Amino acid sequence: MLSREDDELLTRVEESAPMGAYLREYWTPAVRSARLVADGAPVRVRLFGEDFVAFRATDGRVGFLDEMCPHRRVSLALARNEDCALRCIYHGWKIDVSGSVVEVPSEPPERTDFAEKIRVRHFPTHEAGGIVWVYLGARDQAPPFPRFPFSEVPADHVRPLVAETRCNWLQAVEGTLDSSHVSILHKSWLGAGRGELGQAAYDSAPRYEFDHQDYGIRFAAIRHTDSATSHVRVTEFVMPWTAYIPTGDEDRIAIIGTPVDDVTSRQWFIRWNDDHPLTEDTDTHFWYDELTTAPDDFSALVRGKEMWGQDRKLMAEGHFTGITNLILEDVAIQESQGPIVDRSQEKLGSSDIAVIRTRRLLLDAVRAHGKTGEVFGQAPEAGRPGTAGAAFSISASDDWRPALSAQARYV
């Protein structure tokens, strides 16, 4: 378990919180690119307890600004998006993607220098993987954008979905690293025809092994499927919030949990294929289609429903959770822990190794940042995972690492 002090350090991200300052130094996924249309409606984006507005200008550039107009603090989400700028509908002030106030029609024409003295905070953006990313950190220059595998494929090879979950960001991240829950929480999805995922049905208490990497930690959850064979699921955790989850097929999945504020998180599910456009396979991706009906907040599919839509009749008929989507099971669990789970009350076991190690890595990193300004994994020599998660079977007496190396394709 954690002390209350460490728990606070890990979870609080608003205002001057050390973790918020640390996380802002990474490129943060903010909004799906498809939501921003040239001269279309601006989109409100909340991150780290602050409110912003994103928009696509007439020429295709993306602006990311503080939400409120500097004049009378009206939301720029209401603004007209025209002529490569937002025009506030209250008094017509016009603000471009660089945060410059370029027109102030409410002022006399002779006050030519008035607008030049006013700036709106604006932030660097980068589009990759179907997502607009933003740098909100304190440095004068944004760090190089990471070489995410999903950011290096054609647009029709990748699709991001996102959920707004009513819980702290760390609950979202920890859920992606806990392989033992797959055998329990998701057991109704582990039957025939579920590919690699079905292997988790054989052993609900995997043995964990891990290797620290210059990008984070590589975790192997090892399950015994019989006396001679082990099944290995390798998850790559890339600091500070990305997990590459093994799928067992040619499509890949990255899950990123980011802070909206102290008690709300935004979870990104990024599916991609390195070699060809995404196709729909209702057997392999049996959980996916429903989520695509609400791509900007698929947790809305259960929000407001009693007990996250859990169906007790379905449970009586044999479904383990009574929640009819694998990913929405995770949403229910994470939100049920409360806005910020009290980790000082936990009773952890050997199945929690990945969670424990990740917490320690984050604590060490945020403290180092507070002392020296160092940001983990952004040094020039820092690498990226050779695999984006992997699942395979080996002889029970073999080391999993050579089998994983044989699957490496990202260098």
Calculated CA dihedral for residues 137, 143, 149, 150, nearest 10 degrees: 50
For each of the domains in the chain, give its residue range(s) and CATH number, in order of start.
27-134 (2.102.10.10), 149-405 (3.90.380)
* The pLDDT of residue 246: 87
pTM, to two decimals = 0.93
Cβ contact 271:162 at 8 Å: no
Closest by CA to 300, choosing from 273, 325, 272, 270, is: 325
The better pLDDT of the pair 67, 350 is held by 67
Give me the pLDDT at residue 339, please.
97
The pLDDT tens digits for 340-384 are: 999 999 899 988 999 999 999 999 999 999 999 999 988 766 667
Other C-beta atoms within 10 Å of 316: how many? 9
3 state DSSP class of 4: helix
> How confident is the model at residue 407, as a pLDDT?
87
Q: Exposure of 393 by Cβ count < 10 A (0-12 exposed, 13-18 middle, 19+ buried)? A: middle
d(CA 184, CA 329): 11
Is residue 328 predicted with pLDDT exceeding 80? yes
42, 390 Cβ separation under 8 angstroms: no
Q: Which of 45, 105, 107, 32 is nearest to 75 (CA)?
A: 45
Question: Residue 275 is encoded by which pair of tokens?
Answer: 């070699």
Model confidence pLDDT, tens digit, residues 297-308:
999 999 999 999
Average pLDDT across the chain, whole number: 91
Q: Residue 240: is the preceding peptide bond cis (ω within 30°)? A: yes
